[in-house]
Chains A and B, each alone.
Chain A
Amino acid sequence: MNNFLPLFVAVPLFISFLIQLLNKLPDVIADWLALLSTLFLAIISIYLIRTNEILIYQMGGWQPPIGINLVFDSFTGVLLTIISLITCLIVIYSFSYMEKFTEKKKYYSLLLLMLSGMNGVVISGDIFNIYVFLEIASIASYALVGFGCEDEELEAAFKYLVLGSVASAFILLGIIFIYGKYGTLNLAQLATYIGNENLINKINLNMIISVLFIMGFGLKAALVPFHAWLPDAHPSAPAPISAMLSGLLIKALGIYVIIRIFFFIFKISLILSYIIMGLGMLSMFIGVLLALGQWDFKRLLAYHSISQMGYIILSFGIAGAAISKNLPSSIALLALIGGIYHLINHSVFKSLLFLCSGAIEYATGTRKIKELGGLREKMPITSLTCFIASLSISGIPPFNGFWSKLIIIIAAILSKFYFAAVITVIVSFLTLLSFIKVQKHILMGELKENLKEIKEVPISMCFSTLMLSILCISLGLFYPLVKTKFLDTAANIILNNYQYIQTIQNFFMK
């Protein structure tokens, strides 16, 4: 069962090197190779998510503290399934969307490298290994942001690259301090050392290390003080790439690693969870305020991803506060379930929204909401899926956005953070307001004269947008089933994280 783990990184790497090797062959070969590999990964991840015990894979056959080990628990499983499923649909989407760009084969190999970087970060159990695969995913995303080689895209890519490399420098500095103090790089051994260590004075190294990690991974997760790159990088990237960036990259590289480090390795403390909650509320509020004034569709969506990320970070902050104030564990469990569920929902409907914006840009050639209007006659499928996605992001009851926001609000109230609950309600109302504006301009209204001859986007784009909207609806309607099968075990894994450390311990070299 655990022999599948290295395939998540090895198969995309192998296929992307193969695509670059067969440079002379036509683009169709690259399409099918990319599709088959992502489909294969999706099937493995669905097969693997059903086991709810922790899988360990010793890379190279060496025991954990010597070699690197890969870890798969149900929280990783949830993330791996989202990444593989959405990447598979994005590859289908870019069959026809990328016809507008040159060098389609290089696009596919960069996409697969980003996928293998994300998978590598999610399943690795060694902190320097997380850094290396974070670098792979980031460098691939820098190149893909500037894929169109226009003036704005190059400038956005430059800004994103400089900020990203500063963040990686902070992360590496944190890793040096960890190795300097604890002498090990393995996450589980680190957790045991930090666990039975008594901190003497106030300004200790762990505080500095957690500050460095929050700054580094916070920038990768586009939390507010470090969000400067996101509103420029996402609109200038091609649509499937911005769907992947804001749907998957900021989650796998940012949120997941923050949780993995601050819930599993550094015992979550009250101050730390207050900082995380503060960051969450800040990004929620500022993200949606900036989004209200936007008239460029993709830039508006980029600001909304910042505010939606604030939801996820806030719910994990609430869970951390509940654990460290040792409130009844049901509250922390509820907050964790809300956070993970909103993470899944946000990946689904945010990628769907970006793919719809790409479809609109593919058909009409412009992203400005003012110039669009009344697309529902000419582009029925795209407008339908865009409508469903906007409903679910603003939290209308039957759709999935509503459930996760509700859980987060309940968790905030139960753990007596009334201020957080009030902010969440206000922000979700403002999101609803902003998406009503979007719907009014794009779908309702009458068709402008210069848009008369636009026609529906090709089948491959419609197929992936339809599939994503079906996923949106089914996640909303079958919420109890989803909760019991995936979310409970994932939340339990995070709550009592000693299981993670125990299972790796008994693999240790004696």
Chain B
Amino acid sequence: MLIYILTLTLFLLGLYAIIAKKNIIKIIIGLAIIDYAINLFFILIGYQRGSIAPIIPKNSTIKNFVDPLPQALVLTSIVIGFSMLALVVVLAIRLYEKYHTFDITKINKLKG
């Protein structure tokens, strides 16, 4: 139970970084931290105490494996997180080139 709560605090820290921080880099870091917390939570859900990784060894009949399904989903979500990060970095570069600052408060040409 304590591990789940610690992961949730990591998730909240990332959320805090996105909401409270004004600098684009800190927002990107917040996004990355949220991705880390969610991937960690997925793998924690699939852990079986005292069992080995889900690779069937060659000639042994060990049957207690960790749950492989969350690992398949986490592989997908890591790659989604990275592609989101790449897109945000590309946007941050273009915004820096146009506005010459990373500060959100100065990037507000859109009104209304």
Residues of A within 8 A of B (CB): 128, 132, 135, 139, 142-143, 146, 149, 151-152, 154-158, 161-162, 165-166, 168-169, 172-173, 176, 179-180, 185, 231-232, 236, 294, 296, 299
Contact = CB atoms under 8 A, between A and B. Distances in A.
B31 A162 contact: yes
Contacts of A236: 110
A176 B45 contact: yes
B53 interface: no
A181 to B, nearest CB: 10
Contacts of B70: 179
Contacts of A161: 84, 87-88, 91
Contact of B73 (A128, A142, A143, A231): A128
A155 B15 CA distance: 20
12 contacts: A132-B76, A151-B99, A155-B107, A161-B84, A166-B15, A168-B80, A169-B35, A169-B38, A176-B41, A179-B45, A180-B45, A236-B110
Nearest to A236: B110
Nearest to B81: A165
Determine the main DSSP class of B at the interface with A.
helix
B87 A143 contact: yes
A236 B91 CA distance: 15
A152 B94 CA distance: 11
A231 B112 contact: yes
Contact of A165 (B31, B42, B94, B112): B31
Contact of A152 (B73, B76, B77, B109): B109
B109 A151 contact: yes
Interface string B16-33: 001000001001000100
Given A154-B94, A161-B88, 12 more contacts: A128-B73, A128-B76, A139-B87, A151-B99, A154-B98, A155-B95, A158-B91, A158-B107, A166-B18, A176-B42, A231-B112, A296-B112
**5 closest cross-chain pairs (CB), A and B:** A180-B45, A158-B91, A169-B34, A151-B98, A232-B110
